[in-house]
Every structure is written in C-alpha cells, then in structure tokens.
Structure 1
Amino acid sequence: MIETNSTLPLDNKIRERVLDEGADFYGVADLAEARDFIQDQGGEEVASYPRAISIGIRIMDSIVDQLPHRHEKGVAVNYHHHGYDIINRRLDLLASSLSSLIQSEGYSALPLPASERYDDERICAVMSHKLAAHLAGHGWIGKSCLLITPKFGPRVRWITILTDAPLEITGSPRDEHCGECTDCVDICPVSAFTGVPFSEEDPREVRYDAAKCEQYLNSGEEWSVCGMCVYICPHGLREKGK
C-alpha cells in the first residue's frame, strides 16, 4: 500500500499526486536484476531505464464477486467496463500526468499503456506490469501468473512508468505465499494454468498458456469475460471474510 514517509522532494510530489488521484498502490522498483528479461520482451530502449514506478488501483469487490455469473450480459459488461476499461483509463491518465511531472524536473519518463498488446505471437505487452509491481514489493507472482497482493489478492490493475529519476526504491520482491493452493488452476475453464510456481528462470509458458485464454474469450459473445482466477484467489476473498 502507499506509504508517505519519503523525504525526497520529487518522491513526495509523485506520492501526493498518486494519493490525490485515488490510487491504492505506489512503489518504485530497481530493474537491474530483470534487465535481460525486460530487453527480451520489449527491446533495448525499454530495458535502458534503471527504475520503474508501479501504481495500482483496486478493482471493486462488488464487481469481481459477480464473476461466477459472468455469462449474464449485464455482469460481463459491467466487469469489462468498470473493472477493466475505466480503471485502465484512470491509470493511463495518471501515468501521463506523472511522466510530465518527472520530465519537468529534468528527468526522462516513459509511461507504458495499462493494457495494450505489443506482441501478438507471445500475447504480451511491451513490459510486464506484474513484474514491475513484484520488483517494487507489492506482491508475488501466483500460479495464475497474476500479481498477488497480501491484502487484496489479484484484485488490482497495474501500470508502469519507466524512468531515470533518482527515486527512492520502495521495496523488493516478496516471497511467494500460494503454498499448496491451486484454486486458480482448478477453476480455470480451459485449464490454462499448469500449477507450476513462479520462477524467474522459467518462461511464462511453463506456467500459463495465454492462447487458451484468448481462444476461450474469442469463442463467446463479443462481451464475454472470464476473470475467475481473479475472483477465486483466497488472498482477495480473505479481505471480505470469506
């Protein structure tokens, strides 16, 4: 969650703006240990930035908790609109505003879209927002390949700003706390997850078949959604006392 104990002027300006815009998570990651992975996915320019700002906005529980009824059009449309499109728009606008602030202070900043595909073959963005959030200490990568926060589970949308500004690093990767749980693996309607725990050395394909997810969504109505791995995670349900 957002903390406000930094004494660095630029850090304070960024944190205050993030708070003012209603974000739930703010962190800064050192990208050095992940540089090779970042370069392989997004190229040299993306990998040239030493730090990443990771910002998250929590999805409303009232929307996520309806996902077992996702085959009803009203439920699906609301999840896609308010749980996805609107939050992503809020994140994109905030990232743009913060990048302008950083640039005005004499540093470089590259905001990455909250949800835009970069590689159709691998079905991925130019950089993993989940990786940046993991390196910033927000949570760990679960068996669903989602970023799991201790308090809200995977019920969070993320965005990343790459920068060379000398911001204070806020955290480090958290240890995995999924244990023997396979709820996300078991509930997936197309068995897209293998149940193999996250390892930095393994390619995503060891844990997750992204093509299966895409084919499942494309085989339904235009408004079809899934999100059952987001719904079922005990770390998200626990906050509600379930």
Structure 2
Amino acid sequence: MVGENKLDKKIKELALREGADFYGVADLAPANNFIQDQGGDEVASYPLAISLGIRIMDSIVDQLPHRNEKAVAVNYRYHGYNIINKRLDLLASRLSSQIQREGFRALPLPASERYDDERICAVLSHKLAAHLAGHGWIGKSCLLITPKAGPRVRWITILTDAPLKVTGSMMNEHCGDCTECVDICPVSAFTGTPFHMDDPREVRYNARKCEKYLEDGEEWSVCGLCVYVCPHGRKKKDKRRLP
C-alpha cells in the first residue's frame, strides 16, 4: 500500500495518462443529504468522489447551430456523447481497480445511465461532484461550467474512501446577468434561476421538456444548444449565432 501523497500522485497521473482533461477530488460532506436522497445509503456512505472530465471537441460543438442536418447530429451524438462516455467509463474502471489494489473501496458510476425514470436522473449527479471538486460552477442551464472549457465537458465520478487530498471547493458562479442558455432553449426548459444546492432541480430546469423535445424529433435528433452558446466555452473569436 502506498502512502497518501504517493497515492494522490499515482491516481492523478494515471487519470491524465489515460485521457482525462480534468481531474479533481471532492469532499461529499456538504451535499450528503442531497446525495442520500438521490442515491441511497450505500452511495452516501463514501466520503470522497474523484471527478473526471473529458472535453468535447470544439469542432463538433460549433456545428450545433446546424443540428437539423443529419450528419451534424449523428457526429455530435457519436463523438460528442457516446464515444466520450465510453472513454470515461473505461477510465473510471481502470482507476477504480487501481484504488482497490491499494486496499481501498472504489465505486465507479456510469457516465450516462439513468437510475430514476420518474426524476430523470442518475444515481449521483456528476455535475455536482465536479462542482464540489472545484472544477467550476453550475450555471443557469444546470450544466457544470468550467473557466477553461465552459460546459463543453463530459463528466464521470468514482466514489471512494481512499485517503486522497481534496483538490478544491465549490466555485462561485460567474454567469452574472447572462441568459444566453435560457434564451436559446427551443422548449424554454430553463427558468434562469441561479443554482442553490438546497433547491430542487425543478426550480431551475424542466427535464421532461428536454426529453419530449428529443422524442418528438427524428431518431438521430440532438440539441445541445445550451452547450454551444455558453460564452465561457465559445472561443472569443467565434461570434456566430443561430441563423
């Protein structure tokens, strides 16, 4: 078994070597009640979470204003979603196996698998874990907004009791008066209300509206306009908007 400092270094280096663009460790205590309510006692029993992110390619996201073209939509769904989720799942599995070999518990959670059909949610919010790890803040779109890439990141979480050093704390939001994600949503799914951990998601976001919008489209339909339009992810030189 390696010591705490060596373990931190070993896990982080493995994560970055295996393709993570973002690595952080979160103390889950501030959100324990929320986590227990959503995921149950077993999920809430872990004190820490490793938050891993892979950035979506700008060349794919920047095509989303033309998402009604099948080639654009299919590429976004495949390379911007499915493939990155598979990479995240493999990454979390490898790191979890390493943590177990060191003598600690590790529970990798799927990158994108629904746990509760009624609430349309996973067993734990990857965005919340990323927020607690200091990667960014939760914006008016309910997406995790990073200073470096805006919301153009997919996330995964490993729950663990390994003695890892917490890397950060919740970042203050920097959306200000911006409502671009709220304004661009084709079904007005966002209320524009800033994130507060104690508020239910419905205060900010109607997940049913998003789901129905995609169900009513073609089999290959995508949206992602809130990912595209966020100024924190768009390059400054990119002044494009929807035609």
Letter in 2 for 1:235: H
Of 56, 60, 64, which residue of structure 2 is paired with 1:63? 60
Question: How do 1:4-153 and structure 2 match up within 5 A?
Answer: 8-153=5-150
Give the deviation of 1:238 after TM superposition.
Answer: 3.6
> Gaps spanning 5+ residues in structure 2: where?
none
Q: Could you tell me how far apart the structure 1 residues matched to 2:163 and 2:150 are? A: 30
Give the deviation of 1:137 after TM superposition.
Answer: 0.1
Return the TM-score normalized by structure 1.
0.96
Counterpart in 1 of 2:231?
Answer: 234
Of 152, 161, 164, which residue of structure 2 is paired with 1:155? 152
Distance change >3 Å, CA 120–CA 240, structure 1 → 2: farther
> Gaps spanning 5+ residues in structure 1: where?
1-6
Residue aligned with 1:28, SS: strand
Q: Could you tell me how far apart the structure 1 residues matched to 2:165 and 2:8 are? A: 7
Q: Could you tell me how far apart the structure 1 residues matched to 2:17 and 2:160 are? A: 21
1:73-117 alpha-carbon deviations (Å, 9 max, x no partner) = 000000000000000000000000000000000000000000000
Q: Could you tell me how far apart the structure 2 residues matched to 1:238 and 1:57 are? A: 18
| Preserved CA contact (<8 Å) 1:188 1:229 | yes
Return the TM-score normalized by structure 2.
0.95
Q: Could you tell me how far apart the structure 2 residues matched to 1:112 and 1:239 are? A: 34
Count of equivalent residues: 236
Residue aligned with 1:205, SS: helix
Letter in 2 for 1:208: Y
1:44-72 alpha-carbon deviations (Å, 9 max, x no partner) = 00000000000000000000000000011
Give the deviation of 1:28 after TM superposition.
Answer: 0.1
Give the deviation of 1:16 after TM superposition.
Answer: 1.1
Give the deviation of 1:22 after TM superposition.
Answer: 1.9
